[in-house]
Structure 1
Amino acid sequence: MKPWTLANTLLDRAASCLVDPFLFGIRLYWGWQFFQTGKGKLSDISVPTAFFTELGIPFPELNAYMAGCTECFGGLLLLAGLFSRVTCLPLIFTMLVAYGTAHLDVVKTIWSDADSFVSAPPFLFLLASVTVFIFGPGRLSADELLRRRKKA
């Protein structure tokens, strides 16, 4: 075996060992961030309602409750790694709505000013949600425990 092939194989194995801790870290950190953000909205619903009214979002109070509940309870499910992929769908949708309303200016300039797009508050929330949606919650999750239990 050529030395570079051996090195590649070893790096592949080492990197593969990091997948589950990486996904676990993303879920813990961003699940907590979603929870905190949603809890903040729900603790004083008048603030997001006023903001949504200012943005011209229809039914601002209802949408404030929906966004707050999605972030709060979706964050808790993400933390646990429970129903992860299903949970990520409304979280992704909520962040896309945030981009399409509160941060539309950076969406319009995504190609000419990419830094503004990735610096906007929804970006990392969206990235974390998309990452877990695509790769799953990892083996350190309630989903994995349920999968193993179902197999047995």
Structure 2
Amino acid sequence: MLKSVMALYERVVKGLNLLQSPMLLVVRLYWGFQLAQNGWGKLHHLSRITDYFQSLNIPFPGINAPFVSGLELVGGILLMLGLGSRPIALLIAGDMLVAYYAADHDALVSVFSDPGKFYVADPYTFLFAALMVLIFGAGYLSLDALIAKKLKERV
């Protein structure tokens, strides 16, 4: 009986493992698109974003506002493509942690005391998606995987 349960469990795990790359693709496409839209919107309202950064006491708002806007636009596109995924995910995670700290500090410090406040804050889903890609990579359905495959063929 135990052997058959273990065999069933192993088959289920193998089947679910096949869904890892498609799931990462869905995360990258959806959240990459949302992030790119955010960046695009910020770039088109750069003076307001700069003023907002200044109101949050973010240093060098005139430099940081276009940097963050460009990071979100280009980073979102790169996430969708699965190109340079882990470095981009690291930068986006940093961006979202700064967003939490500067704009949603109460939500950030309540991560354990009031988790609901933490996960309804705007940076949460972008941070979560970035951490997924940072930890698991882009998956097989990405340009990163295609490049890695081509590089292995050359060696």
Deviation of the 1:98 alpha carbon: 0.2
Deviation of the 1:61 alpha carbon: 2.0
Deviation of the 1:3 alpha carbon: 2.2
Partners of 1:69 and 1:2 in 2: CA distance:
54
Partners of 1:55 and 1:129 in 2: CA distance:
23
- Structure 1 partner of 2:149: 148
- Verify: 1:92 aligned to 2:93, yes or no: yes
- Amino acid across the alignment from 2:31: W
- Structure 2 partner of 1:29: 30
Give ranges in structure 2 of 5+ residues lacking alignment. none
Partners of 1:75 and 1:16 in 2: CA distance:
25
Partners of 1:111 and 1:8 in 2: CA distance:
33
**Structural mapping, 1:77-88, within 5 Å:** 77-88=78-89
Deviation of the 1:32 alpha carbon: 0.5
Deviations 1:82-110 (A, max 9, x none): 01111111111100100110000111222
Partners of 2:118 and 2:139 in 1: CA distance:
28
Per mean C-alpha deviation after superposition, the further-off stretch among 103-112 and 38-47 is 103-112
TM-score, with structure 2 as normaliser: 0.94
- Structure 2 partner of 1:67: 68
Partners of 1:49 and 1:13 in 2: CA distance:
49
Deviations 1:88-146 (A, max 9, x none): 11111100100110000111222221100011010110010010011000000001110
Deviation of the 1:62 alpha carbon: 1.2
SS in 1 for 2:113: coil
Give ranges in structure 1 of 5+ residues lacking alignment. none
Partners of 1:110 and 1:147 in 2: CA distance:
37
Deviation of the 1:50 alpha carbon: 1.5
The 4+ residue runs of structure 1 with deviation greater than 4 A are: none
Partners of 2:141 and 2:14 in 1: CA distance:
18
Deviations 1:28-78 (A, max 9, x none): 011111100011100110121111111111211211111101100011111
- Amino acid across the alignment from 2:80: L
SS in 2 for 1:2: helix
Deviation of the 1:14 alpha carbon: 1.0
Q: How many residues align?
A: 152
The percent of aligned pairs where both chains have the same amino acid is: 39
Deviation of the 1:149 alpha carbon: 0.8
